[in-house]
Amino acid sequence: MPTPVLTNAYITLDQLKAALGDKRPTPNPWDDAYAMAIESSSRQIDQYCDDQFWNSGVPSVRVFRPEKPRGLEVGSFASVTGLSVAVDMDDDGVYETPWVLGTDYQVFPYNPTPGWPYRRIEPLGARFFPGAPQPYLWQAYGYTPGFYGPAYGNGYIWRSKRPRVQVTANWGWAAPPPQVIQACQILSIESWKSKDLTNGVAGSTGISTGSFGPQRGMTMAPSLMNPVALQLLCGLRDIVVA
């Protein structure tokens, strides 16, 4: 029986087995179910935080349509190694204008907490992101190429729906922080123990205590997520206000 391979998981198979008190050697018949609990809990954390705390170690390309001329929220990237930015200034779908870090743009936060990623790109000097209003000119004039055109009243419409900025980066965190690892362990244990639920009802083996005794058949009330896991993750959620 081969050992299951985990993909971008926040805890290992051995960590979950140790937390559950399972001292059987790997592989064993429960390993696939353990792995499924870990994988699903890891992706649940990604979805809740709208972030990825794993890193492939290889830069990859993403494209963005800016909403503001002087700042672009791109999501977590672990370092400036392999980082590159290019823009489509003439709205032809080609990113023909490369920018230079420290000359044309900078990254934010300027002094990230050790182990935490960068999240934002900011133009420098006379640079601005194409497809967003130019700085300080928010009236019916001075808009960057191919973005706004006059509409009804004082409103404006998009002239171009192209993503005008291309960013190549080492996306994600360099390593998951302790909060994510602990939350993943909690959620993986709950996911594993949910095998004892049928249609939301605990059977003779309880989901938490191992036995409900006289309360056998108790209905388990659903919740969004374990409150301890929520407490651990709440400071890591990627909430962007445009």
Residue 211 tokens read as 């036995």
Give 51-67 pLDDT, tens digit per residue: 999 998 999 999 999 88
Lowest mean pLDDT: which of 84-93, 119-128, 190-199? 190-199
* CA–CA gap between residue 241 and residue 67 (Å, rounded): 11
Average pLDDT over residues 105-110: 97
DSSP string across 27-48: S-TTHHHHHHHHHHHHHHHHHH
pTM higher than 0.85, yes or no?
no
* CA–CA gap between residue 187 and residue 231 (Å, rounded): 13
DSSP string across 157-200: EES--S--EEEEE-BS-SS--HHHHHHHHHHHHHHHHGGGEETT
pLDDT tier at 212 (50, 70, 90 boundaries)? very low
pLDDT over threshold 80, residue 78: yes
